[in-house]
Structure formats: C-alpha cells, structure tokens
C-alpha cells in the first residue's frame, strides 16, 4: 500500500524562495552581458552550454519510445519556446528588470486563455474578470500614449504569449511521457531551433561573455530543480505566492545594481497581474481541478 506523502509547506516556501533568487540571478547576469551579443545568439549559447547538465538524463531518453505525434508536439514546443527565449533575452537587455519581471507574469494569464480555446477549459465569469484585471495591469505598465513603448516592451508581450503556448504543450506531454523526457526534449529542440537565428547574425563572444552565459545556464537549471522540489513538498497554491517575490527582488536589483529607479506604475500594474494569477490559482484549488495556471517561473527558460 502506497504511503500518502504529507505536505511540507515550510520546506516548499523555502525552496520556492531559493528558486526566485536563482531566477533573479539569471536576469541580473543577462543584464550584465548587455547588447553586444545578439539576443538569439545569447539564448542559443545559454541552451547549448546548458546541455552539459542533461548528461545524467541520457539513460532516461534511451528508454523513451516517442510516437510521431509526440515528436511533432515536442518540436512545436521547441519552436515556440525558442521564440520566447530570444524575445526575453532581447527585452532584458533593453528595458528595466522590473518591467520584464512584471510583464512575464502575463504568461499564466495567456495559459488560461489558451486552455479555454484549445483544451476545452471552461472560463467562468470570475476567471474572465481576473483575465481582464491582468490585462489592465499590463496597460498600466505600458501606459501607451503616456510613455514611449519600446521594442523591449513589445518583445515581452509576445514572449509571454509564446511561453504560454510552450507551457500548454508541456502540460499535454507531461501526461504522456516521463518528466525527464520533457525537460531534455525542450533543451534539445530549443538549442536546434535557435541555431539558425544565432548563425544569421553571429558575433564572436569573449570568454567572459561565454562564462556569464554558462553561469546563466547553471542558475536556470538549478532554479528548475529547486522549483521541482518545492512542487513536490506542497501544492502550487502554497508555492505560487512566494514566486511573486521575484518582482520585489527585481525592483531591488534594478535600483541597487543597475540604477534603474523605482517606477510606481510598474509596481501597480504588477500588483494587478499578480492578484489575477493568485485568484485563478486559488479558484482552481478550491474547485479541486487539475492545475492549469502555472507557477510563474514554470513558463520561463
């Protein structure tokens, strides 16, 4: 008889706190690398260098027997995620860290919309209102007509959409294959998907830039690992609120390290989006449905 594992909320909160710090570390390193290396190339190097961390998973991949349909879905996810990562790297190098972090919270909202359109998920009135609140938050951050909406902000809007598409495909594949297979296939397909984009405008990186991007890969890999531990310790309803602290770390990082200043409109808009995600996560837990609203870092690279 299988023993039911008791939730460990304190451990879950601690591990999710560590996850948030690791992912903010990723954003800091990408910001430090600047714009000399094109965004697609930076993203490619991050994934190519990160393949070394997947070597222990080779055994699991050999046991996998993927169907033609599954291969197609994995490659479709790889293409979507490739676009999202390239757009994220582009935005991070050009707009404040707080802006990128706040707008990245839109991805779970798009996941909810996509689940309704493509997976048959019902949208109750409460969820529609939550989506509207999140989109209002995005408008508060962008403030079109009151501030210049740069290419970096537009890149983040599209990045959130393709990250959501990637997550929806991941949800389908997680039900059909080993989670290790999902992770490995994402890394491989994104590396391949970014290769032509990187080669189209290749700039030879310095050893220092390569070192920074290897550190990005290491922190991102560690972040996904600690996040998986947090999810194993307690439900997403416990870990999700902790993930919202990333906006706090992002603001502090921007102010203390990159002299970006504090934009109260970004904080307000982020609060709208965070409230919407928190509400949707809570409602899914109350209704005891399968969790469709992802934890914020789950849609990232």
E strands present in 152-196: none
- pLDDT of res. 156: 86
**For residue 240, pLDDT beyond 80:** no
256-268 burial, b if ≥16 CB within 10 A, otherwise e? eeeebeebeebbe
- pLDDT-above-90 percentage for the chain: 14
- pLDDT of res. 2: 44
- pLDDT of res. 3: 47
Q: Is 5 exposed, middle or buried (0-12, 13-18, 19+ CB in 10 A)?
A: exposed
> pTM to 2 decimals?
0.81
**For residue 4, pLDDT beyond 60:** no
- The CA–CA distances, whole Å, from 31 to 12, 94, 209, 250, 292 equal 29, 8, 12, 12, 31
pLDDT bucket at 1, cuts 50 / 70 / 90? very low
198-237 burial, b if ≥16 CB within 10 A, otherwise e? beeeeeebeeebeebbbbbbbbbbbbbbbbeebbebbebb
Report the C-alpha gap between 218 and 216 in whole angstroms: 5
- Structure token digits, residue 208: 């220092």
Largest distance between two CA atoms of the chain: 63
What rounded mean pLDDT belongs to the chain? 81
Higher pLDDT, 6 or 73: 73
- pLDDT of res. 235: 67
3-state helix, strand, coil in the chain (%, to 5): 80, 0, 20
Please write the tens of the pLDDT for every residue from 213-229.
999 999 988 887 887 78
The residues spanned by each domain of the chain are 9-299
- pLDDT-above-70 percentage for the chain: 88
Report the C-alpha gap between 78 and 142 in whole angstroms: 29
- pLDDT of res. 236: 65
Region of poorest pLDDT, from 40-54, 128-142, 242-256, 282-296: 282-296
- pLDDT of res. 79: 92
- Structure token digits, residue 205: 């990186």
Higher pLDDT, 226 or 178: 226
- pLDDT of res. 115: 77
The arithmetic mean of pLDDT across residues 164-187, rounded, is 79
- pLDDT of res. 298: 64
Would you tell me the crossing angle of helices 264-286 and 236-243 to the nearest 10 degrees? 180
- pLDDT of res. 23: 84
**For residue 66, pLDDT beyond 80:** no
The arithmetic mean of pLDDT across residues 135-151, rounded, is 77
Please write the tens of the pLDDT for every residue from 90-136.
888 888 888 888 888 888 788 878 877 776 777 777 778 888 888 88
Higher pLDDT, 275 or 199: 199
**For residue 278, pLDDT beyond 70:** yes
**Count of Cβ atoms closer than 10 Å to residue 175 Cβ:** 7
The arithmetic mean of pLDDT across residues 183-206, rounded, is 90
Report the C-alpha gap between 44 and 33 in whole angstroms: 14
3-class secondary-structure state, position 219? helix
Please write the tens of the pLDDT for every residue from 280-298.
777 776 766 666 666 666 6
3-class secondary-structure state, position 147? strand
The arithmetic mean of pLDDT across residues 252-278, rounded, is 81
The arithmetic mean of pLDDT across residues 20-34, rounded, is 86
Please write the tens of the pLDDT for every residue from 155-165.
888 888 888 88
């Amino acid at each position: 008889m299988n023993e039911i594992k008791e939730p460990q909320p304190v451990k879950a909160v601690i591990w999710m706190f560590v996850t948030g710090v690791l992912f903010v570390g990723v954003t800091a390193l990408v910001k430090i690398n600047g714009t000399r290396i094109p965004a697609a190339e930076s993203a490619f190097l991050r994934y190519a260098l990160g393949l070394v961390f997947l070597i222990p998973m080779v055994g699991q991949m050999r046991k996998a027997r993927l169907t033609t349909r599954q291969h197609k879905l994995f490659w479709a996810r790889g293409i979507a995620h490739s676009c999202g990562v390239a757009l994220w790297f582009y935005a991070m190098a050009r707009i404040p860290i707080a802006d990128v972090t706040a707008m990245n919270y839109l991805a779970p909202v798009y996941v909810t919309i996509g689940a309704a359109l493509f997976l048959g998920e019902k949208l109750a009135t409460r969820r529609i209102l939550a989506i509207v609140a999140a989109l209002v938050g995005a408008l508060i951050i962008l403030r079109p007509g009151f501030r210049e909406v740069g290419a970096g902000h537009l890149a983040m809007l599209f990045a959130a959409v393709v990250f959501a598409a990637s997550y929806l495909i991941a949800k389908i594949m997680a039900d059909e294959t080993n989670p290790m297979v999902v992770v490995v296939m994402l890394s491989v397909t994104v590396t391949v998907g970014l290769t032509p984009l990187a080669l189209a405008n290749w700039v030879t990186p310095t050893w220092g830039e390569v070192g920074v991007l290897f550190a990005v890969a290491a922190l991102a890999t560690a972040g996904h690992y600690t996040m998986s531990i947090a999810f194993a310790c307690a439900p997403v309803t416990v870990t999700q609120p902790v993930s919202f602290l990333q906006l706090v770390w992002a603001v502090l990082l921007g102010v203390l390290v990159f002299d970006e200043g504090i934009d109260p409109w970004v904080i307000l808009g982020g609060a709208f989006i965070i409230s919407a995600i928190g509400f949707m996560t809570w409602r899914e837990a109350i209704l005891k449905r399968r969790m469709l609203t992802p934890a914020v870092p789950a849609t990232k690279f």
